[in-house]
Amino acid sequence: MVSPVKPNSKITERLAREVLRKLRLAIEADRKEDREIICGEVFTDLTGTLDDLAKEELEISLERSCRFYEILAPYFRKKWDVAEGLLYICRKLLSQPYVAPVYAMLLYQWLLANKDAGGAEQRQKHVNLLVAGAGQLFWSDVHSSLIHFQPLYTFMANDVVLSPDRRRLDTLPPQSRAKLLSVVAAFLPYYTPSAALGQALASFPSPGHTAEDGGHVDWEGADFVIGDVCDTLKMMRAEHSLLKYLDALVGLKDSPFFQRCKRITRLRLQAELYGLTQVGGPRYVPRAVNKAAFRVLDALFPMGAFSRRAVSLLFRLWLHPGEWPRAIGVTARTAGRVFVRWLRYVLPSRTGAPVQPLSADALTNGHQTLHAKAF
C-alpha cells in the first residue's frame, strides 16, 4: 500500500538531517543522562503533531492529524544510504530506552519493504529490534487509550502480514517472522474495526509455514491469534482500551474460523473473559468492562449464558455485600421482564380466542330471526 503522506522532499530532507544531527550529539555526549535527554527529545519531536502551517509547508492534504514520523518513514525508505546511516547511529545508542521506538518509527518501511535492508547477516537482529520498538509504541497507545501509532500498525498488518503478496513476510528470518506475527496478532482487535476482524482472522498466516512449504491457507493462523489475544487481555488495564478491544472481539461471533481454533485456546479466551466479568480483585475492572465482557461471552459462547450470569450474580452477592442493592435491583428488573413474557405466553392459551364485539348488522339479523320464530 502506498503511503498517503507525500510531503515536500526538500523540507523532509532537512527534518531528517536534524534528526540525525541530534542523535549524533547523543553519541558524543559524555554522560548517560545527557544521552537519554537528547534521545527523549528526538522521540518527542517524532511523535509531535503537525499543525496546519506545517502541513501547508510540507504540501500535505490530510484531514486527520499527522505526526512527524509519518512523513519521515517514507523518506528513509527511499534514501537507502541515509537509512543505513541512521541504522549505524541507532546501533551505537542501543542502551538508551528511547532508541528502539525511534528506530521503529523511522525505519519500519525501509526494513520490512526491502529484503536486503540491514544486511543478510544482521537482518534478524535489526527486525527483532524493530518489532520490540513497535510493541512498546503499541502498548503506549493502549495504556493511554490513543491511536498515535495506527499508521505504523497498519503498514505492518496490511502491507506485510495480511498482504495477498506474502513475499515480504516469507523473506524475513523465521524468528523475526514469528515475533512480527505475534505483535500484530496481539493488537489486532485494538487497531482493527469489529466488522473486519473476522476476515483478518481468516487470512492471518501461521508463524511456522511459508508459501514454499504449503502455508498461507485460510484459518491456519486463527489459533495463534486467539492465543496472543488472551495474553494481551491479561495485561490490559486502561478502561477505554479494554472496552474498545472487547467490542472488536464481538465481531468474531459469526466467524467459522474462530470455531476451528483448538478447544484449549477457546477455553483460555473464555477464562480471560470470565475473569473480566468479576467484581473486585485481582484486577478490579470497572462495571462497564464487566458488561462488555459479558457481551463478548454471550456472543462467542452462547451456550450456558443464563447459567453463567446466575453463577456470577450469586458470587457477586456472596463475596461483595456492597453490591446487594444494585444486584437486587437488577434481579427485580430481570424477574419482572421474565414474568411479563410468561404472562404474554400463558394468558392467550388459557382464555382461548378473544370475544368479537357484535356489529349492528348482526344484532338486526338476530332480531329478525327471533321475530319470525315468534309469529
2-11, 43-52, 116-125, 137-146: which is most confident = 137-146
Categorize the per-residue pLDDT at 145 as very low, low, confident or very high, splitting at 50, 70 and 90.
Answer: very high
Task: Express each pLDDT in 53-107 by its tens digit.
Answer: 888 887 777 778 899 999 999 999 999 999 999 999 999 999 899 999 999 999 9
152-156, 298-302, 348-352: which is most confident = 152-156
What's the confidence (pLDDT) of residue 372? 41
25-33 mean pLDDT: 93
Task: Express each pLDDT in 105-115 by its tens digit.
Answer: 999 999 999 98
Question: How far apart are the C-alpha atoms of 227 and 265, rounded to whole Å?
Answer: 6
Select the more confidently predicted residue: 325 or 369. Answer: 325
User: The cell 523475526 sits on which residue?
Assistant: 176
- Please say whether the beta carbons of 102 and 42 come within 8 A: yes
Task: Express each pLDDT in 209-266 by its tens digit.
Answer: 776 766 667 778 899 999 999 999 999 999 999 999 999 999 998 888 888 889 999 9
What's the confidence (pLDDT) of residue 45? 95
Task: Express each pLDDT in 252-289 by its tens digit.
Answer: 988 888 888 899 999 999 999 988 988 777 788 898 99
pTM for the whole thing? 0.82
With 0-12 / 13-18 / 19 or more C-beta atoms within 10 angstroms meaning exposed / middle / buried, residue 239 is middle
Buried b (16+ CB within 10 A) or exposed e, 116-143: ebbeeeebbebbbbbbebbbebbbebbe
Categorize the per-residue pLDDT at 321 as very low, low, confident or very high, splitting at 50, 70 and 90.
Answer: low
Least confident range from 36-50, 143-157, 283-297: namely 283-297
Q: How far is CA 80 from CA 16, 138, 169, in A?
A: 13, 26, 20
290: left (phi > 0), else alpha (psi -120 to 50), else beta?
A: alpha
Cell of 255: 466467524
Categorize the per-residue pLDDT at 344 as very low, low, confident or very high, splitting at 50, 70 and 90.
Answer: confident
Buried b (16+ CB within 10 A) or exposed e, 326-365: ebeeeeeeeeeeeeeeeeeeeeeeeeeeeeeeeeeeeeee
Q: How far is CA 33 from CA 29, 36, 43, 84, 94, in A?
A: 9, 5, 15, 26, 14
3 state SS of 154: helix
Mean of the per-residue pLDDT values of the chain: 84
Evaluate if residue 176 carries a pLDDT over 70: yes
Evaluate if residue 326 carries a pLDDT over 70: no
What's the confidence (pLDDT) of residue 358? 44
